[in-house]
Structure 1
Amino acid sequence: MPEVIRFPSRQAGLVEPLWREAVGDAVRQERLDRGERISDVAGRAGIAPQYLSEIERGRKDPSSEVLSAVAGALGLGAGEVTRRAAAQMDRGPVCLAA
C-alpha cells in the first residue's frame, strides 16, 4: 500500500493561500479600512451581499467582471486588488509537492 503524504493544514498558516483567499482578503481589508458594510459595497457592485461575503471568505473565485465591479465599488481598479492579492501571496510560506 502506498504511503500517504500529509500536507500541513491550511488553517495552520503553513501553506501558501489560494488565489481566491488572497483576493478575498484584499477586498475585505479595503472594505473594513473604508468602514463600509458588505451590503453597501455589494449594492454598488451589483452583486448579492451573500456573494460578496463568499468572495471575502475565499469561498468563491470571482470572474474578472465581478472582480472589476467589486473593486470599482471600493474606489479601486481590478489591477490594484490583484496587486494587493499578489503581495499577500509573496509573503506566505510555500509548500511544494513533487
Structure 2
Amino acid sequence: MTTHAPNESRAISPRPQAPSPGPDGTAAAPRRPVAGPQPRAPREPLWRDLVGDVLRRERLAQERTLKDVSEAARISMPYLSEVERGRKEASSEVLAAAAQALGLGLADLLLLAGDELARHARSRVVRGRVVRGRTSATPRTARYDGLCLAA
C-alpha cells in the first residue's frame, strides 16, 4: 500500500537503503549488485549453416534456381530453401540428393563445408581472438586443421 496521494510525485533515492531487519531481528544480508551482460566468446558456426552456405553458393555459381535444383533432387522447394538458410538440419540422404543435383558428390559437399569451418577457425587465430579458452596475441598454427566425420 502506498502512502502518497495519487496526484503527487515522490522522490526515489539513488542511494541504497540500509537493509531492513529480518524476521528474527538481525540485519538481512546486503544485496549483491546485478552484473551486466558477460562478454560472449566468438560463436562457432553451426554445421547446418556451413552446409547451407555451400549449397547456395554452388547453386548460384551454376546460375540455377531453387526450383530447378529442388526438382532435380526430389526435395520440396521450401525445405531446400530452409536447408540453404541453415534453418533445417538435413539428413545425409537429403544432402546427398542436393549435392548430386548440383553435380557434386556428398564427399565434395562435406569437404567444401569442412574447408569453410577450417577457414573460420584460422581467422579466429589470426585475429587474436579466444582460441580454446585462451587468448592468442600472436598467430599460431593449429596442430590439426582437418575435419573428421563418422557415420
Matched, 1:44 2:69: no
Distance of 1:95 and 1:50 partners within structure 2: 37
CA 1:62–1:95: 2 relative to 1, 3 Å: farther
Q: Which residue of structure 2 aligns with residue 20 of structure 1?
A: 48
Matched, 1:65 2:93: yes
Q: Could you list the runs of 5+ residues in structure 1 that have no partner in the other structure?
A: 9-13
**Is this contact kept in 2: 1:45–1:69, CA < 8 A?**
yes
**Is this contact kept in 2: 1:15–1:95, CA < 8 A?**
no
Distance of 2:68 and 2:102 partners within structure 1: 10
Distance of 2:131 and 2:75 partners within structure 1: 34
Alignment deviations for residues 35-90 of structure 1 (CA, whole Å, 9 cap, x no partner): 00001000010011101100110111110000000000000001000000001011
Percent of residue pairs identical: 44
Give the CA RMSD over aligned residues: 2.3
Aligned residues: 93
Higher RCO (CA-CA < 8 Å; seq separation 6+):
1
Alignment deviations for residues 7-34 of structure 1 (CA, whole Å, 9 cap, x no partner): 25xxxxx422100000000100000000
In the alignment, residue 66 of structure 2 is paired with which amino acid? I
Distance of 1:49 and 1:87 partners within structure 2: 27
Q: Which residue of structure 1 aligns with residue 113 of structure 2?
A: 85
Normalized against structure 2, the TM-score is what?
0.55
Q: Which residue of structure 1 aligns with residue 63 of structure 2?
A: 35
**Is this contact kept in 2: 1:45–1:72, CA < 8 A?**
yes
Q: Which residue of structure 2 aligns with residue 55 of structure 1?
A: 83
Compare the two structures and name the one with the higher helix fraction. 1
Distance of 1:53 and 1:95 partners within structure 2: 33
Distance of 2:110 and 2:79 partners within structure 1: 19
Q: Which residue of structure 2 aligns with residue 75 of structure 1?
A: 103
Distance of 1:16 and 1:95 partners within structure 2: 11
Q: Could you list the runs of 5+ residues in structure 2 that have no partner in the other structure?
A: 1-31, 125-129, 134-151
Over 6 Å off, 4+ runs = none
Distance of 2:43 and 2:111 partners within structure 1: 20
Using the TM superposition, give the Cα deviation of residue 96 of structure 1 relative to its aligned residue in structure 2, in angstroms.
4.6
